[in-house]
Structure 1
Amino acid sequence: MFEPKRLARLKWACRRGMLELDVLLLPFVEQAFDELSYEEKVTFERLLTSDDPDLFAWIMGHQKCDDPELAAMISTVVNRVKV
């Protein structure tokens, strides 16, 4: 389980330099994060350490993420946001 301080830091990390990322990442954490397994939560946390241009390109499908775990998490975020 993510303790409250860790979850608060995660939410803060969702506030990016690009509005396009903000409107995807923060709602994902608020609406779907609790449903993820612990391993998926750690992967999402690692995803947030990526640079904004990379995140944007991966999420928009302009580039493919070479890390399979991160690519799967990107797919989860994108599919969840589409719902």
Structure 2
Amino acid sequence: MYTEADKNRIRWRSRRGLLELDLVLQRFLAHEFEHLDEATLAAYDDLLMLPDNDLLDLVDGRTDSDDPRFQSLVVRLRSWQAPGNQQ
């Protein structure tokens, strides 16, 4: 079970050094974060362990994840890209 402190830590870890990635993650957090179930929240928490460039490649669609826990989450993140940023 994720506590509010755990969720705040995840929100903080969602702030990234790459502006493009930061914008997508902040949009995702604003609209979907409070609706994530425990399994999806755990997958998102693990996804944040990736380096910024690798995570951006996933979100931009340049690469795909082999981890089944990430696949639907990455699709959701891709939907929060700004128009014109999608490849």
Q: Normalised by the size of structure 2, how large is the TM-score?
A: 0.82
Q: Please show how residues 6-25 of structure 1 align to structure 2 within 5 Å.
A: 6-25=6-25
Residues in 2 aligned to 1:11 and 1:37: alpha-carbon distance in whole angstroms:
15
More helix as a share of residues: 1
Residues in 2 aligned to 1:5 and 1:36: alpha-carbon distance in whole angstroms:
16
- State the Cα RMSD in Å: 1.4
Q: State the one-letter code of the partner of 1:74.
A: V
The alignment-based identity, stated in percent, is: 28
Residue by residue, what CA displacement relative to the aligned partner does 1:23-61 show, whole Å, maximum 9, x if unpaired?
011221232111121111111111111111111111111
Q: Please show how residues 22-41 of structure 1 align to structure 2 within 5 Å.
A: 22-41=22-41
Corresponding residue of 1:71? 71
Q: Normalised by the size of structure 1, how large is the TM-score?
A: 0.86
In the alignment, structure 1 segments of 5+ residues that lack a partner are none
Q: State the one-letter code of the partner of 2:40.
A: E
In the alignment, structure 2 segments of 5+ residues that lack a partner are 82-87
Alignment size in residue pairs: 81
Corresponding residue of 1:45? 45
Q: State the one-letter code of the partner of 2:12.
A: W
Residues in 1 aligned to 2:78 and 2:64: alpha-carbon distance in whole angstroms:
14
Tell me if structure 1 keeps the 8 A contact 2:61–2:78: no
Shift, 1:18, TM fit: 0.4
